Structure 1
Amino acid sequence: MATVQQTLNDLRKALSAIYPEPEADAMARQVVEHVLQKSRVALSLEREAEVNEAKREVMARLLQRLLQHEPLQYVLGVAHFYGLELQVDERVLIPRPETEELVDLVVKDHRVQQHLHVLDICAGSGCIPLALAANLNTSKVYGLELSEGALEVARANAAKYNLPVEWLHQDVFEDIPGIAPHSLDIITSNPPYVLEQEKEQMRANVLQYEPHLALFVPDEDALKYYKRITDVAAILLKRGGKLYFEINEQYGGGVKELLQKAGFSNIKVVQDLFGKDRIVRALL
């Protein structure tokens, strides 16, 4: 019977055929931690412990999916986001670290305020509204999403943590009933922003598995979501309310300009940890 260390080595070797060595090593460790339900520290202390055949078979099935370039988060069924362990599958975009940076900015801006009213547009797995509901003093949190499949995932994530988010199943390009004008303190959105022309630069595990509805915008109308959400925000935000966007690094200036034209002020383009324009914050 193979030990924990042997199992890790076997997974790492197989994965290194299609992934760089550091990534293959990290993926192998996460698979073993997930299947054995043990922390990294525990596994390091039990490297010579035996792994039974049933567990090895589970890992072998997961490995085959990984070797087809399926993202690790879909294979394991979970993604970690701002202290939450969220269910994810092919109905939703995998939450990114850049989106955690957006959430962190919102939390830092509003941590002392009470009874906040918040709307997240293009909610996907629910990662943004759920993280804000868990970390801010909120009276009302809405998550708007077009995909019913994505909303099923978001509802499951909300139920897991007993977070009272009201989910709105609708298209942002249509009128949004049920939210009074000038009633919101915060609007956030990580809308589709990858250009169609950028597809050829993307890795197979993203392009083949993640929902294109949540990823891509037409090359000829790259700011379509930002234009529409800016218009919505001008109606639904209170005076002094804030709008937060995650953006394509190419369009910080373009998003800032359209916000200025819509009457927003104190507009700031924020760079992510890699030095790329990634978040735009504006005040109504």
Structure 2
Amino acid sequence: MTIPRGRMLIGSLWLAAILVLLLLLSFSLLPQDGARDCQNSWHPCLPFFQMTDRQVEEAESSPKPNSQDCPGQSFQVWRLLLHLRASQAANQDILLEPYLQSWEELIRFMESLGAVVGFFSQKVKDKVAKIRELSLEHGRENSGRSSPDAPQNGAYYSIGSMVEAELKAGVVSFTHPSQSGCRTVLRLHRSLQWLTLLLRGLAEGANEEGEYRTPGELCRQAYQVALAPYHPWYVRQAAELVFVSLPERALFLQLVCVESQEEATPILHTLIHTLEETHTRTQHILQTHRLLELP
């Protein structure tokens, strides 16, 4: 049986659209154990970052849903909260190493949602690795110029210090894509909003009929707000194929180690509040330096 050429062309176009979605979404989307080190990370810690005893004590004493691992899964919500809170500096800046550790935990969350969503995680890992590589390169170029006893002087110690250092060095382009930490953080920043909106939807109650919106519907709505404005038409259309592949709400409850929506809601509210604080601080830093629309 001969397949009509027109049907083959349509099939090829759909396949191309799916591949483009997986590639381009992963560039714009979206972790490691412990607040003191990152020995289990895919890449080494930023060499100059070391939490003070006070920072560790404050992060570990902050309220969290459960300080124990949820058995049988790699993503742990309490560990994500620990890293997020550790990243929030007293001067409204974001410390870069615990911020990257937060993303590594979010990658574990994404990979738990299935193969299609998990595909995105590799490019997110690449973004985390890119920032670490930039910090190492900067450290080699400036070896011996600053005191090792003053890690707060490192260019990649925080998002704020990174932005100022890269703008001063002229490595950030406002006209074409550049391999800068600023552009990489901007892409992660948009994805953080996407995930936050998704979680906010999952924390919502049921409608008048007692029904909850599906994760696919919530993901679609969050995507339209946070990421769709930066994607071309054909990617937005192909994204619909990803939304229908998301698992049922029960898996999301399992990931935060609860059995019911009532148990999940306060945990999600705590997580959402912490994510929003991180997003607000990053937004302010990027907006102050006019970096929100980098190509």
The TM-score normalised by the length of structure 1 is 0.26
The TM-score normalised by the length of structure 2 is 0.25
Identify, as 1 or 2, the structure richer in strand: 1
Identify, as 1 or 2, the structure richer in helix: 2
